[in-house]
Amino acid sequence: MTEHKTPSGPHTVDLKRLKPYGDIMNDGTIQICFTLPVEASAEAREAAVQIVEKMGLDQIKVATMENVGRGFSMFVIYANVKLTVDFTKIEVVKVEAKTRARDELDEVIKTHIGRKLVILGACTGYDAHTVGIDAIMNMKGFAGDYGLERYQWLDARNLGAQVLNEDLIKLAVSEKADAILVSKVVTQHNIHIRDLKDLITRAKKAGLMERLIFVAGGPRVTHPLALECGFDAGFGVGTKPSDVASYVVEEFLRRRERYDGIPNPLKPAETPKAPAKTKTGTKLTAKPKKRPGGRKLEVKFRKATKKAASPRRKAKK
């Protein structure tokens, strides 16, 4: 059990049986929003309630029912879940990189790499939504965090939207790019997954996988999904430019150490291991005694021999 402080005072949260929070602790209240392909009506409301009931929820409250076009109605519903999760056993595959400030990263590149890292960013395929790649690449950045174009030691190039995978690979080769950032917003029929896998297939044929760093991002992109598609890392909603820049710099240094043997300056120093504790039994050791004359008296121990069992013992056995 852990104590969780809220504006109304301390409450106890059981992390082994975690439930959603609505009005009070552990009430399990959640909000659901969905659309039915029927006009808003009493029958439509009942249909929505039955759907939520079949999801295993109870204490159902329909907060909103609205027509959202001819033949469609939208619902906002509150209900309570009965299930819990063990928060203490949750393990998530995450991007392993410490987020560093822009000035610090510039200094690391200047001191330990000695040249600008070339980063190409694009929305690939027929995806025309550049809001994500613009937030990471453009100088103004996102949420008060400057974009990669503002870094003095990054040669960041925003290629915009609808960049074909074959053109991106050709440009990466000709410009000797160090990293490729791909933003995918359109996800209908999993088109984003097909596009990401196609890019990696082309990169493998061009022999770019060892040195070129591949990063995917978007509202439906997660790190595990990116790994599944063959990318090195994936970033989702809320990612800031410094998160991406920190990962690219760290990954570049890791690969340089792996392939060229140059030590990684950002690698955490290994803490010395404590000497292993050995189980020692009580050992009988005889210290040599001295005779009055100063000569040492050697003490010898005779090896114990196993005694033969007596006939009586044998009989008992």
CATH of the domain at 181: 3.40.50.280
Q: What is the pTM of this model?
A: 0.72
Q: Structural domain tally of the chain?
A: 2
Q: Are residues 10 and 159 in the same domain?
A: no
Which of 260, 275, 305 is the last residue before a domain boundary? 260
Tens-level pLDDT at each residue, the chain (317 residues) = 555 554 555 677 889 999 999 988 889 999 999 999 999 999 999 999 999 999 999 999 999 999 998 999 999 999 999 899 999 999 988 898 999 999 999 999 999 999 999 999 999 998 899 999 999 999 999 999 999 999 999 999 999 999 999 999 999 999 999 999 999 999 889 999 999 999 999 999 999 999 999 999 999 999 999 999 999 999 999 999 999 999 999 999 999 999 999 999 998 776 666 666 555 554 544 555 555 555 555 555 555 555 555 544 554 44
Q: Are residues 29 and 56 in the same domain?
A: yes
Three-state DSSP state, 50: helix
Does 174 fall in a domain?
A: yes
Does 23 fall in a domain?
A: yes
Does 231 fall in a domain?
A: yes
Q: Are residues 68 and 136 in the same domain?
A: no
Q: How many CA atoms lie within 13 A of 248 on its CB side?
A: 34
Q: Are residues 28 and 134 in the same domain?
A: no
Q: Are residues 106 and 218 in the same domain?
A: yes
Please report the pLDDT score of residue 292 as a whole number.
54
The Cα–Cα gap between 261 and 257 comes to 4
Does 14 fall in a domain?
A: yes
Domain with 185 in it:
102-260
Q: Are residues 24 and 153 in the same domain?
A: no
Which of 216, 239, 260 is the last residue before a domain boundary? 260
Please report the pLDDT score of residue 242 as a whole number.
97
Q: Are residues 153 and 27 in the same domain?
A: no
Does 288 fall in a domain?
A: no
Does 287 fall in a domain?
A: no
Q: Are residues 65 and 114 in the same domain?
A: no
CATH of residue 65's domain is: 3.30.30.60
Question: Measuring CA to CA, which residue among 1, 77, 84 is closest to residue 46?
Answer: 77
Question: Measuring CA to CA, which residue among 29, 30, 24 is closest to residue 12?
Answer: 24
Does 188 fall in a domain?
A: yes
Which of 219, 244, 260 is the last residue before a domain boundary? 260
Question: Measuring CA to CA, which residue among 261, 264, 270 is closest to residue 251?
Answer: 264
Please report the pLDDT score of residue 282 as a whole number.
46
Please report the pLDDT score of residue 312 as a whole number.
46
The Cα–Cα gap between 110 and 285 comes to 63
Q: Are residues 65 and 136 in the same domain?
A: no
Bridge partners of 156, per DSSP, are 119
Please report the pLDDT score of residue 276 as a whole number.
61
The Cα–Cα gap between 204 and 165 comes to 13
For residue 228, how far is the Cα from the chain centroid? 13
Q: Are residues 158 and 110 in the same domain?
A: yes
Mind telling me the catalytic residues? Answer: 140
Q: Are residues 228 and 135 in the same domain?
A: yes
The Cα–Cα gap between 28 and 32 comes to 13
Does 301 fall in a domain?
A: no
Please report the pLDDT score of residue 157 as a whole number.
97
Q: Are residues 204 and 123 in the same domain?
A: yes
The Cα–Cα gap between 277 and 289 comes to 32
